[in-house]
Structure 1
Amino acid sequence: MTTSFLLIILPAITILLIVTARFRKHYKKKILRRSRETWAIGIYEGHSPVELHPPTGITNPVLTAKDITDISARFVADPFMIKTESGYHLFFEVLNKKRNRGEIAYAFSKNGIAWMYCQVVLRERFHLSYPYLFMAEENYYMIPECMGSGGIQLYRAVHFPDQWQHLTTLVQGKDRFAALVDPSVIHYRNRWYLFSYSLKSKNLHLFTSETITGPWKEHPKSPVVCNSPNFARPGGRVTLYNDVIYRYAQDEIPNYGTKVWAFRITELTENTYSEELAREKPVIQPGDEWWNRDGMHTVDPFQRENGEWFALVDGFSIDRQQPKQ
């Protein structure tokens, strides 16, 4: 090797080694942090779906990993609920300690406050979370986050609430769509709209279809939010209230799952899209209790008959005792 070649290649190798070492250190630190997170599910209440606060007369959290009886669980998170004549049905992620993967579990309540855990209702070979639950055309559907499947998947209940069947792939994971997470849908003015977040680009993508099963196409204005770890990632049910659509966004700064913002969608058609921040304060953010002191990241709101609102939310705390090396 010539001296000039060495003078060029050696600094480049040194820089590469430094960058690699820093990445490994950061990645290890992130993994250790996530392994110390304890997630739980609680209830918030308020006068609107974008003004929520800790409840009075309810002891949070209402569901923790200790309530899970059929598997060894590390945490519960991502609550999505639906109400029927029989009561309230709650679906959520439970992290299976043995498999180290998320599964979808189910709990039931007569009043929406006191919950009885039932069982895991959906598990796959890949990680499952964020079980976005909704009803359409007299069928119960679920679009869970399942990035490991290679696409956005739609499930239908063949026997509600405990038997679910994969129906179709809504968006196939190819190239930039391979890492779309937290899919969130709404049916509005005879069309379906689906939001999903790209982990790589930090963009919020929007898709639309005439029917829930598709075919789905990317919206002309997509991505509707670009390069924003603060405001792009979906954080709960897209909600229609007083003819206004609200979407929730989980804030990943300074860390994943820090808080949730609400955006008012001011225009949504097959060809147009616009939104604005609904309020200057987060809808939910870290609280004073042990279960949500370090962050909150999912909101599923419902309006009571008296006009007031309550929401299933999740939160986490970090075990600050350093793990043994």
Structure 2
Amino acid sequence: MSTSLIAAMTGCHQLESDSPSTASHRSTDSSPSATTQSSPEPERQSTATQSQSPTTETQSAEVPARSETDTPADSPARSETDTPTDSESTDTQSSAESESETKEALYVGETIPTMPHAPHGATLPTGTNFHPSDATPVLRASDVTDYGAVDYVADPFMFVEEGTWHMFFEIVNENRRPDAPIGHATSSDGLHWTYNQVVLTKRYHTSFPLVWKYQNEYYMCPPTGKKVELYKAQRFPTDWTHIGNAIDVEYYSHDPTFVRYKGRWWLFTERGNENVMVYHSTDLEREGWIPHEGNPVVTDRLQAGRQGGRPTVVGDRLFLYFQDSVENYGDRIRCYEVTDLSPSTYADQEVSGSPVLHEFGSDWANDGMHTFDPWWLGPGKGWRCAVDGVRAQESSEDLWTIGIVDIPPST
């Protein structure tokens, strides 16, 4: 992986069910709450958190540096034999885990997705330093050459290694079964992309293909209905094998995101587009992760309940991106800082510069944007981000397009 690239983590996307789906990204959703009426701008502070941690100041897109006494960001990477496995108990305060959280860096080299994190003082990728109209379309339905008459492409997630940029994304052909596989494109600079091929096809609709690397293995999480499935690459980036399910629940788990934070894996997903659900594990490949004690950790928050992008770590601070579906599904992306996270507590707060993405102009994103994948380019370079946008059409399905936007560092 290029040593100049420093990033964060997340992802998965649209409404999936256990049977083939023909649902448009925009028009329908299997969750009843996905169809809502227009409502006033929501409050920016979560009122359904499970703890009362102090409010975190986020009034500037510049994240201030922490003191030397804070958690270090450059501790040595751990080996596989150092990683503990979950017991059947949900005990979360064991001395072993406390020692692990102290010794293990939040993000180290290629051991934690995505590699590595942005340092203390880095600009937070929000709407403070850029406008969505700065984005340039880079992949359209017409670029896909191996899946028939494709209707649209969406849900882009990037991965960068050894000077090559990879992009994984959802391909939708409403007249084919399955109607949505995962496609792959490459770039030498992250700005100009070439479509390659379909790399993952299930029996049913899939999307939101978050990809990361951990202990020299490549993983993907393309969600399906009520299961959050985990895939491992047999030959990156084209051959993927299902290795298990992180969760298999009674509700539709759209667009789950993964992040390793303070010695533990965290899975963020949603229920009904407005309730935030959290699961955790010390073993990435464990079958059946432990539910957060406070699930749902946030309730009735349609403006920020469903994940919309790669979780980002700046210094030792964790930021999540949520889809705003108050007026329509996938209207815009909001950014929240997680101010308290443990197996029994959760709190978050919307940051300055949110929403990050929203509709603009009269062309490819004039009706909404709902995926945000930021990659840190290095000091003085800012972020390069994959996004998607939807164009409103009067007599046909909405048309989603994938774009790239650069966020400059603060001056």
Question: Match of 1:13?
Answer: none
Question: Match of 2:157?
Answer: 80
> For each residue in 1:203-243, what CA deviation from the matched residue of structure 2 results, as whole angstroms up to 9, or x when unmatched?
11000000111241101122121122211100001110122
Q: CA deviation at 1:285?
A: 0.4
> d(CA) in 1 for partners of 2:367 and 2:137?
14
Question: Match of 2:393?
Answer: 319
Match of 1:152 among 228, 239, 242: 228
1:223-234 correspondence to structure 2 within 5 Å: 223-234=296-307
Q: Secondary structure at the match of 2:142?
A: helix
Match of 2:277 among 187, 196, 205: 205
Question: Match of 1:126?
Answer: 204
> d(CA) in 2 for partners of 1:113 and 1:307?
14
Question: Match of 2:141?
Answer: 65
The amino acid across from 2:205 in the alignment is: H
Identify if the C-alpha distance between structure 1 residues 154 and 111 changes in structure 2 by more than 3 Å, giving closer, same or farther.
Answer: same
- Give the TM-score normalised by the residue count of structure 1: 0.80
Question: Match of 1:91?
Answer: 168
- Give the TM-score normalised by the residue count of structure 2: 0.64
1:269-288 correspondence to structure 2 within 5 Å: 269-279=342-352, 281-288=354-361
Question: Match of 1:244?
Answer: 317
Identify if the C-alpha distance between structure 1 residues 211 and 122 changes in structure 2 by more than 3 Å, giving closer, same or farther.
Answer: same
> d(CA) in 2 for partners of 1:144 and 1:110?
25
1:94-173 correspondence to structure 2 within 5 Å: 94-99=171-176, 101-147=179-225, 150-173=226-249
> d(CA) in 2 for partners of 1:259 and 1:249?
8
Question: Match of 2:290?
Answer: 217
Structure number with bigger Rg: 1
The amino acid across from 2:266 in the alignment is: Y
> For each residue in 1:19-75, what CA deviation from the matched residue of structure 2 results, as whole angstroms up to 9, or x when unmatched?
xxxxxxxxxxx979639xxxxxxxxxx95312342476x7x2111101101112110
> d(CA) in 1 for partners of 2:25 and 2:207?
20
> d(CA) in 2 for partners of 1:294 and 1:301?
21
Q: Secondary structure at the match of 1:225?
A: coil
Is the 1:170–1:213 contact (alpha carbons within 8 Å) kept by the matching residues of 2? yes
- 5+ residue gaps, structure 1: 1-29, 36-45
> d(CA) in 2 for partners of 1:32 and 1:133?
21
> d(CA) in 2 for partners of 1:187 and 1:289?
39
Question: Match of 1:7?
Answer: none
Q: Secondary structure at the match of 1:262?
A: strand
Is the 1:33–1:318 contact (alpha carbons within 8 Å) kept by the matching residues of 2? no
How many residue pairs get aligned? The number is: 276
More strand by share: 1
> d(CA) in 2 for partners of 1:64 and 1:225?
35
> d(CA) in 1 for partners of 2:319 and 2:358?
18
Is the 1:224–1:273 contact (alpha carbons within 8 Å) kept by the matching residues of 2? yes
More helix by share: 1
Between the aligned residues of both structures, percent identity stands at 34
The amino acid across from 1:190 in the alignment is: G
Moved over 6 A (4+): 30-33
Highest RCO, 1 vs 2 (Cα 8 Å, sep ≥ 6): 2
Identify if the C-alpha distance between structure 1 residues 209 and 62 changes in structure 2 by more than 3 Å, giving closer, same or farther.
Answer: same
Question: Match of 2:333?
Answer: 260
The amino acid across from 1:313 in the alignment is: V
The amino acid across from 1:62 in the alignment is: V
Is the 2:274–2:303 contact (alpha carbons within 8 Å) kept by the matching residues of 1? no
> d(CA) in 2 for partners of 1:64 and 1:47?
30
